[in-house]
Amino acid sequence: MPVESAVLGRYDKAYLEYETENHFKYRSIAMQSLAEAGLDPKDARSSDGRQKSILEIGCATGALLSLFKDAGWKSRGIEISPEMSGYARRIFGLDVFTGRLEDAAFKPCNFDAIVASHLIEHLNSPVEFLQNAKKLLLLDGAFYIITPNADSLQANLNRQNWRSAIRDHLFLFSRVTLKAMLGKAGFRVDYFGSWGGWPKDMKPGFLKKPLDKMAKSLGWGDVMIIKAVLSGSGQGGCNGE
């Protein structure tokens, strides 16, 4: 495994250029899965009228987080790349901390929703990451994780040639392994979904539509989303205030 400094050095100006070329497409895909998991930007107020708060960890350019800000959420972001966090502040007017989650001085028990999209697979210490995120969540809040599914149809067919088996991904998870790790960190899984069964450029092309549908229904999609909530053992004295 590469040391953390080498990992962090990957997210430079070139990475910003890649993200800005694709961020609206990625946002659309992420929002579809988040909506299926129950997270909707329009749901910006709690039942008692309180303004809800959201934290996106690894918010990149801020394209996704901006939807929640514009809908009326208290929106905060964390991004390790100075280039991307600067972009998020400049273009979308977001409140983004530049650095790691463990270095951000956020108030505990402060967020209704935390989102980490295509982040956990890049981290040297995913268990520590989950433990740190747990401290920031309100008792009735939810943690949404999007990551490649190592037990997907594509992963099982292509193995070492699977498109997510790349050097930037330090850990890859299946539904079973991510659920187990979340359990150890004090979470329980409240929702699981997946999508993507057949790459667009993979032949024969006529298989894409039926295999995508089958993979989604069986949980064999190439990317998965998990909604995690605090378990009884994971509440850690958080009083929600």
Confidence of residue 204 (pLDDT cuts 50, 70, 90): confident
- State the pLDDT at residue 233: 59
Distance in angstroms (rounded) separating the CA atoms of residues 232 and 134:
12
The pLDDT of residue 237 is above 50: no
Tell me the two tokens of residue 111. 């967020």
The pLDDT of residue 112 is above 70: yes
Count of other CB atoms within 10 angstroms of residue 177:
13
CATH code for the part of the protein at 4-232: 3.40.50.150
- State the pLDDT at residue 19: 85
CB 168 within 8 A of CB 80: no
At 93, phi and psi to the nearest 5?
Answer: 65, 35
Report pLDDT digits (tens) over 115-136: 999 999 999 999 999 999 999 9
Confidence of residue 164 (pLDDT cuts 50, 70, 90): very high
Mean pLDDT score of the chain, rounded to an integer?
91
At 101, phi and psi to the nearest 5?
Answer: -55, -45
* Apex 107 CA angle, 146 and 130, nearest 5: 30
Confidence of residue 83 (pLDDT cuts 50, 70, 90): very high
The pLDDT of residue 199 is above 70: yes
Distance in angstroms (rounded) separating the CA atoms of residues 132 and 53:
17
| More confident: 17 or 42 | 42
DSSP per residue, 83-149? HHHHHHHHHH--EEEES-GGG--PPSS-EEEEEEES-GGG-S-HHHHHHHHHTTEEEEEEEEEEEEB
Backbone Cα Rg of the chain: 18
Q: Is the bond into 199 cis (omega within 30 degrees of 0)?
A: no
Confidence of residue 207 (pLDDT cuts 50, 70, 90): confident
Query: Tokens 């972009």 appear where?
Result: 87
Query: Tokens 């594509």 appear where?
Result: 154
Contact partners, residue 184, CB within 8 Å, separation at least 6: 127
Average pLDDT over residues 10-36: 87
- State the pLDDT at residue 71: 98
Report pLDDT digits (tens) over 35-62: 999 999 999 999 999 999 999 999 999 9
- State the pLDDT at residue 40: 97
The pLDDT of residue 240 is above 60: no
